[in-house]
Each structure stands twice: as C-alpha cells, then as structure tokens.
C-alpha cells in the first residue's frame, strides 16, 4: 500500500505551533492536559485549546483516539520529520532552480560542480594559501 | 497613442540594449561585484526607461504649451496624422497592424512578468512553512533541523537567514562565520528586493537576454556578498574554502540529477576564482560612465525634440487612424 503523504499546512498559528511543540515534547495528551500546560498561563479557555487541537487534527498533523470519554491526541509526524518536510519543500524549489528572486542559497543547488573542477579549485586554494604564507 | 509609443520605444530599446550587452558582457567581470549588481539592475530597466524617456521627449512640446512656455504645437500641423500630445488626447482607433502590435506587447509583458509574480506567491507559501519549523539561533539566524547542509537567505522585504543544523555541525567555526556573514550581506544589501525588481523590469527584454541578465545579476549578488564576507572575516581565501566545503557537503548528499549534469559548474567556480584573484577596483568608473552617457543621450534627444516628436507621430500614425 502506498504511504499517505501529509500535505503540510501553509502556516501554523502561534497557539497551534505551541500545541504541536508541547505534544512533540510530552507525547500523546488529551485537551485538559494541554490546557493545564498552555492554556492556564495564557488565560485561554479549554474550548479554545480544544478547537485548536481539532483544527490540527483536521490539518492532519494530530491523530486522535477516544480513550474513555476524551480524545487523546498524538503527533502524526515527529518534530524532525515535520522540519525535514518543510525544508524538503524549499529545497525542491531550489533544486529546480525556480526560487529566484525569493531565495538565494550559499551554493547554487540547481547545478552541482564537477569533481574535477572542485579538485582544481582546492589545488588553487592551497597554492594561494602557500603563497600568502611565504609573503608573511 | 501615448502608451503605444512607449511600448514601441521599449521594444526598440530592448533590441538596442541586447546588442550592446553582448559586446560589453565579457568586460563586466572587471567591475567590482557590488557595482556590477547596480549596473545590471539598470540594464534590466533599460527598455522600460528607454520607453519612458523617449515618450517624455516626444511629449515635451505639448507639455511646454500646457505650462505656457510655447505656442500650441498641434496647431502647426493639420490632422493628417495622429497627435502625440497631452493637450489633444483623442481616442484614436487602431489599425489591424496597431492591434497586432498592441496585443504582441501585452502578451510579451504578461508572458514574462506574470510567471514571476506567480512564482513569488508560490515561494511565499514555502517560506511560511519554513518559518514555522525554524528555531531561533545565534546572532539572529534561524536554525532548521534537517539532514541537508543548507544555508539560505529568504524573503523580499524582510529577509531572514536560515542555516541547517547539519551545516552548523559540519563546518568549522571560521567556515560557519563565512557562511553567516555571506547570508547577512544578502539581507543588508536587500538582494531579494533587488532581484525581484529586476525580474519585473526585465519583462520588456527578450527571453534569452532576460535569462542572461538574471543569471549575471545573481552571480554579481553572490560575489558582492563573498566580498563583504571576506572583508569581515579578513581573508578572501577563507571564503573560497568555505564555498568549496559547502559545495562538497551538499554534493555528498545530493548528487545532481542526470538531466542537470550538462550545467555542471553553477556559480561556484567563478566565485572561487574571483576570490583568489586580485579584487577589482571598487572605484571603477563604468557605472558612472553609463549614467553620463544616458544623461548625454537624453540631452541630445531633448535638443532634437521637435523633429523627433514629428517622426514619432508619423511612425505611430501607421498603427492608428
């Protein structure tokens, strides 16, 4: 069976990101536990936390399972997987060379430098370094 | 009528600057990268500026009449051809040739500017995702937790620097400083905004010329940032070493797909070679000379403004009735 590819949402709100960070750190949690950790100090209601977690579920970032009378939410992607997907997304644009003018990378990702050229450049660098040392 | 004249002048300007650029391009490398980037931005704008300048010169006699500096110029000639003036703006109907020309201009501009705008919108979405996962790092950079050794500057108005944790872990402290200084130089120089403006201004150029100009501008921006990083680190060779080191790291995990091998090279080679050569004089007069030539050209046009105005009316008259 083909693995389902999760489409990352355009942007997570501040509370959404905090909830995700908390679930990533603590593991599966119900709404009350998240509210105790994040909602109380922010002065936000249980309903707000509940709707935020439902939204994250709809965005397919959280899975949920009914345990007793409450839903327990867990992250569908680990923090690292989520980060990697976002970076992959950007890199796919860089590799295709179609991110100009929005992004500029330290090295040009759309075109790799050949081994011979790299070896020649390294030799040149060594020569210049040696010449600079002799001058000193 | 006025818009048609501006479009015609822009098209003529595009042909002229493409021809001149082909002759000047081999010498551009002698100009310091930061100045070259400025010059290339002006070059991108050249067709649009040519259209605006020539149209302004054509309209000068009627503007003179409007502010009381001369007699109403249009009374001098009859209605046997169209008037290119701000006093008698008549709705002229286009001839089939005029319609064809106007349509070609519109398609030309839309075909080149619209994809750029759509691309920027698409990239904004990607960038927001990246923002969501980046963690604040040392010195204002944003750290991305990924196995890919990547460093990039992203954004047009308020750019940010993103560096992956892998790159931070694998580079030496000096190399990392070079990378960071290089990326911050993009932010300070507003290279994202510069390239965005250039991509829109380039819309009046021919496709081949547009690609060449944008590639040359991207290289100039990279080399200008290399030079700034070298000035801050105090050693041009360190910057060259860092570029090769990052290229090697990236190539290890991401060998180029077969289809891109024909473009092997990218901009690593010219950047490293430029860093190992003697830096070009930062006081090169080339951009200033271009300005002086443009000013002299405009002055010359103004001196022959009246006859230029009539010739243009006759020419544009072919497109309208």
pLDDT in tens, B206-221: 888 888 998 899 999 9
Residue A126 banded pLDDT, cuts 50, 70, 90: very high
Q: Are B260 and A98 inside 8 Å of each other by CB?
A: no
Strand, coil or helix: B319 = coil
Residues A7-29 have pLDDT tens digits of: 566 567 778 888 988 999 899 99
Q: Tell me what the mean pLDDT of segment B89-94 comes to.
A: 57
C-alpha B250/C-alpha A94 separation (Å) is 12
Q: Are B196 and A102 inside 8 Å of each other by CB?
A: yes
- Selection from A76, A73, A77, A75 nearest residue A30 by Cα: A73
Residues A80-109 have pLDDT tens digits of: 787 777 777 776 766 665 556 677 788 876
Spell out the residues 6+ positions from residue B9 whose beta carbon is closer than 8 angstroms to its own. B50, B51, B53, B54, B55
- The terminus-to-terminus CA distance of chain A in angstroms comes to 66
Mutate which: B116, B117, B123, B126, vs A, most A CBs within 10 A = B126
Contacts of A95 in chain B (CB under 8 A): 254, 257
Q: Tell me what the mean pLDDT of segment A37-60 comes to.
A: 92
Residue of B nearest to A119 (CA): B244
Residue B257 DSSP class: P
**CA-CA-CA-CA torsion sign (B31, B301, B7, B68):** positive
Q: State the Cα angle at A120 between A114 and A125, rounded to 5°.
A: 125
**Strand A62-67 with B142-144, pairing:** unpaired
Give the other-Cβ count within 10 Å of B112's Cβ: 18
- Selection from B280, B297, B294 nearest residue B37 by Cα: B280
Report the mean per-residue pLDDT for chain B. Answer: 79
B37 with B130: CB under 8 angstroms? no
Q: Tell me what the mean pLDDT of segment B124-149 comes to.
A: 80
Residue A100 DSSP class: T
Residue of B nearest to A93 (CA): B123
Question: pTM of the predicted model, to two decimals?
Answer: 0.74
Residue A51: phi, psi to the nearest 5? -70, -35
Torsion of CA A115, A121, A123, A127, to 10 degrees: 180
Q: Mean pLDDT highest for which of A121-125, B106-110, B124-128?
A: A121-125
Strand, coil or helix: B45 = helix
- Among B214, B247, B273, whose Cβ lies nearest the Cβ of A107? B247
B83: closest CA of chain A, how far (Å): 41
Contacts of A93 in chain B (CB under 8 A): 122-123, 126
Please give the CATH topology (third level) of the domain spanning A14-76.
Arc Repressor Mutant, subunit A (1.10.10)
Q: Are A121 and B120 inside 8 Å of each other by CB?
A: no
A65: closest CA of chain B, how far (Å): 26
Q: Which ipTM value was assigned to this complex?
A: 0.71
C-alpha A135/C-alpha B248 separation (Å) is 29
Contacts of B267 in chain A (CB under 8 A): 108, 111
Spell out the residues 6+ positions from residue B193 whose beta carbon is closer than 8 angstroms to its own. B156, B157
Q: Supply the angle between the helices B173-189 and B191-201 in degrees, to the nearest 10.
A: 50
Residues B15-34 have pLDDT tens digits of: 888 888 888 888 888 889 99
The domain spans of chain A are: 14-76, 80-135
């Amino acid at each position: 069976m083909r693995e389902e590819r999760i489409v990352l949402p355009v942007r997570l709100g501040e509370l959404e990101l905090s909830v995700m960070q908390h679930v990533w750190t603590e593991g599966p949690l119900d709404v009350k536990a998240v509210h105790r950790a994040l909602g109380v100090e922010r002065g936000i209601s249980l309903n707000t936390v509940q709707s935020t977690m439902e939204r994250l579920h709809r965005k397919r970032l959280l899975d949920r399972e009914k345990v007793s009378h409450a839903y327990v939410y867990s992250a569908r992607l680990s923090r690292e997987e989520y980060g990697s997907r976002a970076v992959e997304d950007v890199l796919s644009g860089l590799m295709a060379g179609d991110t100009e003018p929005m992004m500029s990378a330290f090295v040009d990702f759309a075109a790799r430098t050949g081994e011979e050229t790299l070896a020649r450049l390294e030799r040149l660098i060594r020569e210049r370094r040696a010449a600079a040392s002799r001058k000193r | 009528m006025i818009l048609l004249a501006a479009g015609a002048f822009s098209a003529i300007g595009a042909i002229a600057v493409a021809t001149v650029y082909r002759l000047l391009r081999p010498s551009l490398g002698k100009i310091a990268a930061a100045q070259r980037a400025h010059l290339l931005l002006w070059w991108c704008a050249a067709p649009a500026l040519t259209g605006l300048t020539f149209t302004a010169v054509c309209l000068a006699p009627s503007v003179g009449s409007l502010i009381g500096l001369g007699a109403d110029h249009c009374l001098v000639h009859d209605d046997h051809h169209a008037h290119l003036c701000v006093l008698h703006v008549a709705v002229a109907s286009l001839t089939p040739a005029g319609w064809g020309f106007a349509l070609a201009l519109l398609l030309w501009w839309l075909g080149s500017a619209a994809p750029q705008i759509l691309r920027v919108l698409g990239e904004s979405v990607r960038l927001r995702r990246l923002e969501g996962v980046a963690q604040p790092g040392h010195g204002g950079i944003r750290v991305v937790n990924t196995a890919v050794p990547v460093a990039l500057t992203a954004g047009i108005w308020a750019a940010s620097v993103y560096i992956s944790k892998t790159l931070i872990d694998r580079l030496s402290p000096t190399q990392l400083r070079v990378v960071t200084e290089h990326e911050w130089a993009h932010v300070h120089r507003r290279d994202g905004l510069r390239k965005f403006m250039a991509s829109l201004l380039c819309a009046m150029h021919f496709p081949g010329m547009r690609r060449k100009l944008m590639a040359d501008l991207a290289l100039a921006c990279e080399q200008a940032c290399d030079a700034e990083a070298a000035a801050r680190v105090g050693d041009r060779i360190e910057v060259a070493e860092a570029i090769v080191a990052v290229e090697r790291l990236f190539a290890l995990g991401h060998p180029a797909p077969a289809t891109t091998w024909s473009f092997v090279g990218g901009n690593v080679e010219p950047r490293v070679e430029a860093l190992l050569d003697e830096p070009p004089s930062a006081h090169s007069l080339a951009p200033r000379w271009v300005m002086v030539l443009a000013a002299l050209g405009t002055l010359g046009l103004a001196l022959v403004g009246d006859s230029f105005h009539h010739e243009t009316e006759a020419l544009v008259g072919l497109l309208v009735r």
